Amino acid sequence: MSASKVTFEQRIARLEEIVAALEKGDAQLADSLALFAEGTKLIAACSKELDEAEQQVMKLAKGPDGTLVEVPFETQEE
């Protein structure tokens, strides 16, 4: 499966499968390590996609003349 054709939702679903398998605890060490490595790659891909989405998020606010204007989304971290 090509990474570019995998949706965000598919990545999350696969992450849930990996977590369930790791929590079950019956996989061999090598398999657990492979699952963990796959999971970290999926997390990185999801984080990147979420960061890109956050940059695109704009909230609408009223400008000085009462018209709606777009302003950058402000995070709570600031």
CATH, residue 45: 1.10.287
Per-residue pLDDT of the chain (78 residues; tens, 9 = 90+): 445 588 999 999 999 999 999 999 998 999 999 999 999 999 999 999 998 887 666 545 566 787 777 766 665 554
Q: How far apart are CA 72 and CA 75, in angstroms?
A: 10
What count of other Cβ atoms lies within 10 Å of the Cβ of residue 18? 20
pTM exceeding 0.75: no
78 within domain boundaries? no
Range of the domain at 59: 3-72
Q: Residue 34's closest CA among 16, 21, 45, 48? A: 21
In a domain, 34, yes or no: yes
